[in-house]
């Protein structure tokens, strides 16, 4: 019998529900159970692909090419599994399929309604994932906060699932903020009380309350939350701020969350084996040598926009027992003269040219790229990052004046980066990029080949429309900027990885290796980059 754990949020969004969900998942998995996780996003977009990173943070790309919520990244990293695009359910998807079915006549005669048609569709999608994954435990995180109008059908579906699947097979965890009043230092529980009341009004009694707080929950706050939420005090868990998110499973475990879940769901309790995880957390926390990495991008004011890259750097750094210090460099700040390239970059040990879209900040980023290349600073470019490295090289080394990407200048005389042929005739933007895991053939004797441990073919995830124009490859190669990885899409060659010949790493990839980086298994390209930054 599959067990379902629903995770709801209260008071505020972005309090760490995703990390809590992933952490609970890790504890259950470490007990030897098969776990999967679903993120529900109650917005009307069909997927996260059309949303601005500023509004929504990073778009996380799954192996099967889903453009999903960044919480799937937490799940994959903590659970060390690959998820499908199906694991991110949105209101848009639900309504789209119900309405399409209505038009086909599948409900002929019926009045199509939120209850039961929308709720049935929600439940059937959750159960489909349960079936296909074969998981013993399915975690379902409901995005937003309790009380949001758009979240109601999902909460209603969850309530129905408790009845249909049985009390012993369903569990509710409510994650809510417990703010501390600066003036008195007191932890205030009223917001949690209200959000639990709201949840109960809908018909859901939470089994566990996870209190997100700055400092460990006081016994007084715990007592109050327990009383008002109608749960025993040991079911109120303190999830206080910690140095690294990877510590969260450990603080949950120290309060017996694993035991409570096993008991509540009738699962045999087995002591979770977290030894490798604990070693990783210790490495993150104990690293004293710092390594300064410039993060050159465009959405640098919202760090969530680059979440997987930050985590990939952390994984690689922890593996080498160092601590990354990220220096954020905004392309537009360089363009507007707010910072000088020299000041921004003269003390960094390495740089990442971040992925992105569109013109804003691109010229500024290219000035940074020129500096990095000319000063021999180890640099790795991700997707748009590679494309900008290629444009900069074309202009300043090959002397191709006004070389550009047709994304940035459709009339450039030298389209060194161009729209892929398969992208020329698309009529809609949602879900149409080159998406998901693709094979990359590595060229022997290159740094990329070495980075991937001598494998001939690797699989990395993609999300792009533009690519390096193969017409210019000979010119690049002659000037020392060589192709070290390639693939094919619709019988057309796609340049996947390029690198400068020479004694420092200067490499760009069309793929996003960060999406496959795991705490216990850093992404090879990030690890290689980090080793080279440290010269080891």
Q: Tell me the catalytic residues.
A: 383, 512, 514
What is the secondary structure of 126-173 as a DSSP string?
A: HHHHHHHHT-SEEEEEE-S-TT-GGGHHHHHHHHHHHHHH-GGGEEEE
The 8-class DSSP code of residue 352 comes to: E
Select 85 or 463, whichever has its Cβ closest to ligand GLN.
Answer: 463
**Residues in CB range of 174: below 8 A, 6 or more apart:** 7, 8, 9, 10, 146, 195, 196, 199, 206, 208, 209, 210, 229
Which tokens belong to 88? 């991110």
Report how far Cα 124 is from the mean position of its chain's Cα atoms. 25
- The span of 87-95, 108-116, 260-268, 457-465 binding ligand GLN (CB under 6 A) equals 457-465
The answer to whether 60 contacts ligand GLN (rule: CB under 6 A) is no
Rounded to a whole number of angstroms, the minimum distance from the CB of residue 313 to ligand GLN is 17
- Give the per-residue contact string, 413-452, with ligand GLN (x = CB under 6 A; - = no): ----------------------------------------
Q: What is the closest distance, in whole angstroms, from the C-beta atom of residue 305 to ligand GLN in the complex?
A: 11
> CA-to-CA distance for 501 and 453, rounded, in angstroms?
19
Q: Which is nearer to ligand GLN, 225 or 408 (CB)?
A: 408
Check: CB of residue 509 under 8 Å from CB of residue 497.
yes
DSSP notation for 32-100 = T--EEEEEEE-SSSSSGGGS-HHHH-PPEEPTT--EE-THHHHHHHHHT----GGGEEEHHHHHHHHHH
The gap from C-alpha 75 to its chain's centroid, in whole angstroms, comes to: 9
- CA dist 243 and 253 (Å) reads 17
Residues in binding contact with ligand GLN, number by CB under 6 A: 10
Taking CB under 6 A as the criterion, which residues in 336-355 touch ligand GLN? 355
Nearest distance from C-beta of residue 383 to ligand GLN, angstroms = 3
Supply the minimum distance, in Å, between the C-beta of residue 391 and ligand GLN. Answer: 12
Q: How far is the CB of 29 from ligand GLN (least distance, A)?
A: 30
Residue 464 interacts with ligand GLN (CB under 6 A): yes or no: yes
Q: How far is the CB of 390 from ligand GLN (least distance, A)?
A: 12
Kindly state whether residue 515 participates in binding ligand GLN, applying the rule CB under 6 A: no
Using CB under 6 A as the binding rule, whether residue 356 contacts ligand GLN is answered as yes
- Residue 410, classified by CB atoms within 10 Å of its CB into exposed (0-12), middle (13-18) or buried (19+), is exposed
Token couple for 424: 């020329």
Q: Distance between CA atoms of 54 and 50, rounded to whole angstroms?
A: 12
Interface residues for ligand GLN in 98-157 (CB under 6 A)?
none
- For ligand GLN, the closer of residues 323 and 465 by Cβ is 465
| Binding-site string for ligand GLN from residue 158 to residue 187, where x marks contact by CB under 6 A and - marks none | ------------------------------
Contacts of 384 (CB under 8 A, 6+ apart): 353, 354, 355, 356, 357, 464
277 binds ligand GLN (CB under 6 A): no
Least spacing, CB of residue 318 vs ligand GLN, in Å = 25
Is residue 357 at the binding interface for ligand GLN, with CB under 6 A as the rule?
A: yes
Question: Closer to ligand GLN at the Cβ: 249 or 355?
Answer: 355
Task: Give the phi and the psi of residue 438 in degrees, each rounded to 5.
Answer: -135, 150
Residue placing its CB nearer to ligand GLN in the complex, 119 or 387:
387
- The interface with ligand GLN within residues 1-30 (CB under 6 A) comprises none
**Contact positions with ligand GLN (CB under 6 A) in 379-418:** 383-384, 407
Residues 6+ apart with CB under 8 A from 405: 387, 391, 412, 415, 416, 417, 418, 466
Tell me the window of 5-13, 137-145, 155-163, 459-467 that interacts with ligand GLN (CB under 6 A): 459-467
| Contact predicate 160/120, CB 8 Å | no
Of the pair 395, 464, the CB lying nearest ligand GLN is at 464
Decide: is 65 part of the binding site for ligand GLN (CB under 6 A): no
- Cβ–Cβ under 8 Å, residues 521 and 472: no
Binding site for ligand GLN (CB under 6 A): 355-357, 383-384, 407, 463-466
């Amino acid at each position: 019998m599959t067990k379902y754990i629903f995770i709801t949020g209260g008071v505020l969004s972005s309090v760490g529900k995703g990390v809590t969900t992933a952490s609970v998942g890790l504890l259950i998995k470490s007990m030897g159970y098969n776990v999967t996780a679903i993120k529900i996003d109650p917005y009307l977009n069909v997927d996260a692909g059309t949303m601005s990173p500023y509004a929504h943070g990073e778009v996380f790309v799954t192996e099967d090419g889903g453009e999903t919520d960044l919480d799937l990244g937490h799940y994959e990293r903590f659970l060390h599994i690959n998820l499908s695009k199906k694991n991110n359910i949105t209101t848009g998807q639900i309504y789209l399929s119900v309405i399409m079915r209505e038009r086909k006549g599948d409900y002929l005669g019926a009045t199509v309604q939120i209850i039961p048609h929308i709720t049935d569709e929600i439940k059937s999608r959750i159960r489909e994932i349960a079936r296909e994954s074969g998981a013993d435990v399915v975690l379902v995180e409901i995005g937003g906060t309790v009380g949001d109008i758009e979240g109601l059908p999902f909460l209603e579906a969850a309530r129905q699932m408790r009845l249909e699947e049985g009390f012993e097979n369903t569990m509710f965890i409510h994650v809510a903020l417990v703010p501390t009043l600066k003036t008195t230092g007191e932890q205030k529980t009223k917001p949690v009380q209200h959000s639990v009341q709201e949840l109960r009004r809908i018909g859901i009694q939470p089994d566990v309350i996870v209190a997100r707080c700055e400092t460990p929950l006081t016994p007084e706050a715990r007592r109050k939350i327990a009383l008002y939420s109608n749960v025993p005090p040991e079911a109120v868990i303190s999830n206080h701020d910690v140095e690294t998110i990877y510590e969260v499973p450990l603080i949950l475990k120290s309060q017996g969350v694993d035991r409570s879940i096993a008991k509540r769901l009738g699962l045999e309790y087995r002591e979770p084996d977290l030894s490798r995880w604990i070693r990783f957390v210790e490495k993150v926390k104990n690293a004293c040598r710092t390594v300064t990495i410039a993060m050159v991008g465009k959405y640098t004011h919202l760090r969530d926009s680059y979440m997987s890259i930050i985590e990939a750097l952390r994984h690689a750094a922890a593996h080498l027992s160092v601590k990354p210090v990220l220096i954020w460099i905004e392309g537009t700040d360089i363009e507007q003269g707010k910072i000088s390239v020299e000041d921004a970059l003269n003390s960094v040990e390495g740089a990442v040219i971040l992925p992105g879209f569109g013109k804003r900040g691109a010229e500024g980023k290219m000035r940074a790229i020129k500096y990095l290349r000319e000063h021999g600073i180890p640099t790795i470019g991700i997707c748009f990052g590679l494309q900008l490295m290629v444009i900069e090289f074309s202009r300043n080394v090959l002397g191709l004046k006004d070389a550009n990407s047709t994304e940035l200048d459709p009339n450039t005389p030298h389209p060194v980066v161009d729209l892929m042929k398969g992208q020329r005739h698309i009529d809609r933007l949602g879900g149409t990029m080159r998406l998901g895991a693709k094979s990359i053939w590595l060229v022997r004797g290159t740094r990329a080949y070495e980075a991937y441990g001598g494998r001939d073919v690797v699989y990395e995830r993609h999300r792009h429309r533009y690519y390096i124009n193969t017409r210019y490859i000979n010119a690049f190669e002659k000037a020392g900027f060589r192709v070290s990885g390639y693939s094919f899409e619709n019988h057309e060659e796609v340049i996947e990885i390029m690198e400068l010949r020479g004694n420092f790493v200067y490499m760009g990839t069309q793929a996003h290796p960060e999406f496959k980086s795991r705490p216990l298994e850093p992404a090879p390209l990030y690890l290689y980059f980090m080793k080279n930054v440290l010269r080891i």
